Amino acid sequence: MSPDPTDEPGTLERALEATLFAAEEPMSVEALAGHLGGLAHGDVREALGLIEARYRARGVHLVERAGRWHFETAPDLAHLLRREKEQVRRLSRAATEVLAIIAYHEPVSRAEIESIRGVQTSAGTLDVLMEAGWVKPAGRREVPGRPVIYATTPDFLDHFGLASRRDLPGIDELRAAGLLDPVDEAMESALYGSGRFDQDDEPDEQQSDEDDTAHDEG
């Protein structure tokens, strides 16, 4: 039996580079190992680490998002490849809150989202997030009625530059970055505790959700 070419020094890294370059979508360690003939997962992870380090100072980086690997443009060079016309996606406050709740508490049902927010959530709000590719149905809760539960997607992690949900910012980081206003203390409780919104904190929230629905239908 002829020796496995990936046993030669450096050959496994080259094989992984070629595979990831030609892949139509990010690949997991398991998929890469199987594609290259059933290699040990540890060997593949080690080789990916070497490639990732080698590309850190180059125009493209090897990155891991939600356990899947792919090449992407270095962040400081992204402006060179940006299309002249960009689609601006603006989320309403309601959609932003729902996205945050799903990210920090997933998987969650619509009823659980409403329990945290303290107000009803329109189907249009979830539709907007699914259309963006950041949220997806993740099965059904095994309780009476078997409600659909929702979770974030790898595209959500990729868009916000997160390797995994463990990289989501904590409350102190949000405050330090100026991303949490004093009026958002109720949201802090919703994300990091079991509190609910007070209706006085969100006087126009129902209208916001309805606006999402109207935007989605338009």
Q: Please list the residue range(s) of the chain that carry CATH number 1.10.10.10.
A: 9-81, 93-217
> What's the pTM?
0.50
What topology is assigned to 9-81 in CATH?
Answer: Arc Repressor Mutant, subunit A (1.10.10)
Other CB atoms within 10 A of residue 104 CB = 15
Q: What is the pLDDT along the chain (218 residues), one digit of tens a residue?
A: 333 544 555 789 999 999 998 888 899 999 999 999 888 999 999 999 999 999 999 999 999 988 899 998 888 887 777 654 445 457 788 888 888 889 888 899 999 999 888 888 887 889 889 988 899 999 998 888 899 999 999 888 888 888 888 888 776 665 565 545 444 444 555 555 543 333 333 333 344 454 444 344 33
Q: Under a CB-based contact definition with an 8 Å cutoff, are residues 143 and 182 in contact?
A: no
Beta bridge partners of 63: 70
CATH code for residues 93-217: 1.10.10.10
As a whole number of angstroms, the distance between CA 101 and CA 109 comes to 11
